[in-house]
A and B are shown apart, each in its own frame.
Chain A
């Protein structure tokens, strides 16, 4: 750890920079540390403490046996065990991303001279990455003779280090823009988000936002910390400005859109959404937001109307199935379900009709069918269910068609407690024979099974199935009839 570089020693004795030592031994807080060390056996626990706040703790030392500290010490002794001291140091690994690490040829002294004369900060910051120079910080912590009450000469690296350790620090001396940025880059380099944010808070206070924004554009990591910080403290306006200045208009739009969640009153929320329409969303999001506005607008109208109808007791449907909740702020599909439930059969022109909702929100055939099916099945309106699938061809024959496999339809109907008579119609429509039989067995559609086996001319299966049904049932008789039918040519 201790690397005696003549260069460095020279520097520290001669430099106009006051030779400050970071020696904790001389610190006012040393005694405090000693007593704390006794309390916390794990050093890290101690190091994290804020020294300023701990003045009280100094008095806390001559504790009686049997108190907590006694037990703490006991803990400590159990931790400490013997063994040989080995060099346990681990190598540093390059932790990307970080400042460019050029192997700079500067010696430390020439570097500082350079700073004093020309203010060549770029090279200064670069050289921090140089491992040979990086190590001088521990050097400074070596006991030094005098303590000077002068804290403002900490380099960015030292400052960041002290902040990480929760020690006293001062940011006031970082006044020039270069110094501030150097400090920020050093904080980013230390990977400690807490310190990065702390530095950003200081920059926020001490730089105009235009300058800060400009500098953050090229500092992605710092920028993300800044955005997160602003989000957390709720500085919405500043965030919007930040996004604007960076041309991140979509983020800006989303950010503002997000605020609608804070608007409780539905009419105000609708107006808020209307206002959002002009924001620079991505094309996809713009469609979403337009839909959002339209949807809420419709819902407000439907809600007002239905509430009135329901309370006046005019419509049977509301009496039979009172509304459990308001339709406001529900998703599109829920709104469609609601409309299929309470407003089925209304003309396309009304806002609340399923057809209108379907058209307005470009609902796909599948989605429409599934939702409508669910709603009508819930009401046990089997006639409506049938109608959903029935199509007429040009000869006037009707046929059942579905954009979704009929096995799914059966599933949905069954979940809505459809009777076997209804179910079996749809099981029959399943094309895959095996699937058809397994569904029929699952839902006890005997006719379907029997007919299928008959059509397959599978005598064996039919005999097996006969064993599964009640002897006195009509199914049994039907199987008997088929089996005794001499006209059928069985395959087995």
Chain B
């Protein structure tokens, strides 16, 4: 199981520093409101906050009571209220209501809003409009980066995907740039940046500007290279079912901020427990990147070893027993606990997957990726919808079909009809979103097209012509997946046996059926040290690729230091655990270390749920 690690693989930088920086800044900000205060925390900031500080830390800095932001009237009796929130209109509106209610009651309090990771003008404008600008002080907690593990850093901004790719709002571009800037200042200077995608380009540009604005600090680089990638360069990969252990756990139990809650079903007790999943968990660390089919064998081997270790006790004399208890027993017990937990999780996942005919589902997915037996796939999906099996699953399969098969547009109309019949007519709002994003492609009736064309034509004469290519790219968004697959060998020939025990390429994360496009691009660009030779590929991906090198002043010594073999990959719009596993595999093969920075950990369900528009 344990892959042979190339001995020369460099060490990863220590990212705990980022946590300390965030914690220290938070404490500083809390001290800006001296005295006792109640703290209201935005729900999805609570887990990230937990990772860097604890209640004691907050209490030490005069935080009296802690509340979750629930958009309801508050009950606090404190004279000082502090709000730790994301810069969201909805939350700010709620705060305005709280403050104005106090005013109406003639109650005087001091208020402070701490926006994380930054404030937006739209939020401040709301404070102004609601007449409480000035009554409320605002601050920014630049908590851009949360290290989730040795090699995963998250911005914890799941809304990035919808805001940018669906709504076309670039509010997080500078945030991404600032996050890069922070990494650059602490672990840089970077010497090379590669990227693909419009947002990547903008984030690069924003980062570059911030570097120029700031002072240069000389230091030894710990991270040499950076790769930026937009999520919409590869939407196929995150829509696939995950079968690598960590990905599967995420798909089934949902890992939140590096932590998972295992239900009683798993723990074989009457209560759920929360478990941190990271490299500290020795058992997990060995199975996280493995194909699920390999995990059982590994766990049972491990259990046997454990048994042997325990069995040593028999035949020990008192003295030996004493050393055993003091030295080994604790470790064994710990391992025992972890082992039984992961065995429980595996069993539970097995059960769930058997129940939903996972095998058949995977077969359909693989056929779609291969472009094989499409007709059968369609009728499978149709039945899936008709039987009202999970809506998100149905949508996922439809989107995969649309992304891989151009002819989908011909059946869009009937498929959307089935969907709305099975899951609710209001989902026509969801379809509209999926179309906007290009996840579903509808056939364009000739008439609509000409209207569009004429408008495009009119605008081409305009000065702003450059902006149009993107705005209307979804119109012409044709799936190039098949061509890309052939070009980059993403889909290995199905007649060859694929040994999942000894994976030969990154395809193992999808049972040997598909190499994730995102990771393949990274591999190719690193190999070629740029995009040369990939022109056709980038054209099919809508372009926006770049590769830039720092320090054009000639002193480029090109030292092959360790830092050059540490590559920071930033996913704008989220990445999946499967992709992280694939990159770890690639790193082991090439003697590289990848650090994944992502706006959030995503998977098919999160991605599609962010597109739903069926609630008020």
Contact = CB atoms under 8 A, between A and B. Distances in A.
Contacts of A257: 428-429
A225 B89 CA distance: 14
A96 B198 contact: yes
A87 B426 contact: no
Contact of A89 (B212, B217, B546): B212
Contacts of B171: 192-194, 197
Chain B interface size, under 10 / 10 to 19 / 20 to 34 / 35 or more: 35 or more
Contacts of B126: 233
Interface string B154-178: 0000000001000111111110001
A79 B186 contact: yes
A208 to B, nearest CB: 19
A260 to B, nearest CB: 7
Interface stretch (B315-323, B459-467, B528-536): B459-467
A331 B423 contact: yes
B202 A225 contact: no
Given A50-B140, A197-B121, A229-B122, A86 B548 contact: no
A425 B551 CA distance: 77
A370 B467 contact: no
Contact of A292 (B21, B425, B471): B425
A195 interface: yes
B220 A83 contact: yes
A291 B425 contact: yes
Contact of A1 (B25, B138, B139, B212): B212
B425 A42 contact: no
Contacts, number: 272
Interface residues of A, number: 99
Contact of A48 (B32, B118, B168): B118
Given A68-B24, A257-B429, A285-B428, A80 B217 contact: yes
Contacts of A41: 21
A44 B552 contact: no
A93 B216 CA distance: 20
Contacts of A334: 388
Contacts of A262: 616
B613 interface: yes
Interface in A55-103: 56-57, 60, 68-69, 71-72, 75, 78-93, 95-100
Interface in A210-254: 218-221, 224-225, 227-229, 231-233, 254
Contacts of B463: 99-100, 122
B213 interface: yes
B548 A91 contact: yes
A192 B171 CA distance: 6
A175 interface: no
B598 to A, nearest CB: 19
A232 B181 CA distance: 29
B119 interface: yes
A86 B551 contact: yes
A47 interface: yes
Interface string B122-139: 100110000000000111
A25 to B, nearest CB: 13
A403 B257 CA distance: 47
Contact of B170 (A40, A193, A232, A330): A193
Nearest to B166: A228
A404 interface: yes
A347 interface: no
A379 B413 CA distance: 34
Contacts of B416: 284
A289 interface: yes
B422 interface: yes
A261 B219 CA distance: 56
A218 B467 CA distance: 9
Contacts of B28: 39, 68-69, 72
Contacts of B138: 50, 53
A83 B218 contact: yes
Contacts of B54: none
Interface stretch (B238-246, B379-387, B507-515, B566-574): B379-387
Contact of B125 (A39, A57, A201, A332): A201
Interface stretch (B77-85, B203-211, B287-295, B491-499): B203-211
B615 interface: yes
Interface of A: 1, 39-45, 47-50, 53, 56-57, 60, 68-69, 71-72, 75, 78-93, 95-100, 122, 138, 163-166, 191-198, 201, 218-221, 224-225, 227-229, 231-233, 254, 257-258, 260-262, 284-285, 288-289, 291-292, 295, 329-334, 361, 363, 366-367, 370-371, 374, 404, 408, 412
Instruction: Please give me the 4 A-B residue pairs with the lowest Cβ-Cβ distance, nearest first.
Output: A193-B170, A224-B168, A198-B121, A193-B171
20 contacts: A44-B181, A45-B21, A49-B140, A71-B24, A81-B220, A89-B212, A92-B205, A93-B205, A96-B198, A96-B466, A191-B205, A194-B122, A219-B467, A220-B470, A261-B615, A284-B417, A289-B425, A331-B388, A331-B425, A332-B420
